Structure 1
Amino acid sequence: MQSDRGALTSTMVEEVDSLLFIVPAIAGRFRERNMKSQFWQNLYAWLLSAFFLLGGWLNIFADPELVEEYRHWGYPGWFHYVTGMAEWASAGLIAFSVTRFWGSVLGCAIMAAAAISVSLQAEYTHALMPLIILVLTAFNGWIAWRRHKTA
């Protein structure tokens, strides 16, 4: 009986030892896949941030046609500065993972306001781009929220 117990124990030790070699290998693969996914998530966020940087630049340094469009939509002549600064703030917040969710919320608000503004003037095709960016920004916010929730 004693020898069976000894054989059983040594077999269990061998199995545990083999598992201890497998677990780090699996964990390493998971970590590697997770790091790749984080890279793509960051790249996606940085591209979105670049879009808001460019949008802010084009609004702050607006040509006279854009200023006239703002007036046509019912905004004062200086409102393009507010839009540009909000877009820059969104870009800055999206660029960093700690504030990415709130930058996405701000970006969604900006794009929703843009889509509503042009839709109220019956410029429905002009609303298409802000709606697409709204969806992309909402997706970025969801990724940031999910990442923060699991961390």
Structure 2
Amino acid sequence: MYVPRPRLEKDLARSFSRHTHTLLFGESGNGKTWLFKRALTESNFPYIAVNCANASRLKSLTAEICGCIIEPGTAIKMKFNEEKMAELSAYIAKGGLKHTGMYDVTQEEPLLRAFKLFADSGASGRAQKKIIVLDNLESIFNNDELM
């Protein structure tokens, strides 16, 4: 159940419209998640919520962010083969040359790729601010590797 908090909703919506980071903090169960979801929905900002508790379980904030942005089953080209062939045919002789090459495709860093996908998603033709929420951030505060 959501408890309306107009002043906090307004303040939070105002922080979304600026180019800043916003940290919402408070005791567990006080409705921080409800508050940011309400404020973001009312402000019409596209967002994803990354659950830091899952990042703690996965031992990777990057994996959790990528998992929230990149659709499961998305194909990524890792390699490709190239085959070239030339053939010469004369009246009594035939000759040819064949070359096969295998190439690795340089991969973009997964987190950067995820951020680009998120930035490019949604409304086409116009840049729109998008927000990534690190929900349950307190679950990784004491983990130097994840922070």
The two structures have a TM-score, normalised by structure 2, of 0.24
Larger RCO of the pair (alpha carbons < 8 Å, separation 6+): 2
**Greater fraction strand:** 2
* Higher helix fraction (1 or 2): 1
Query: Could you say which structure has the larger radius of gyration?
Result: 1
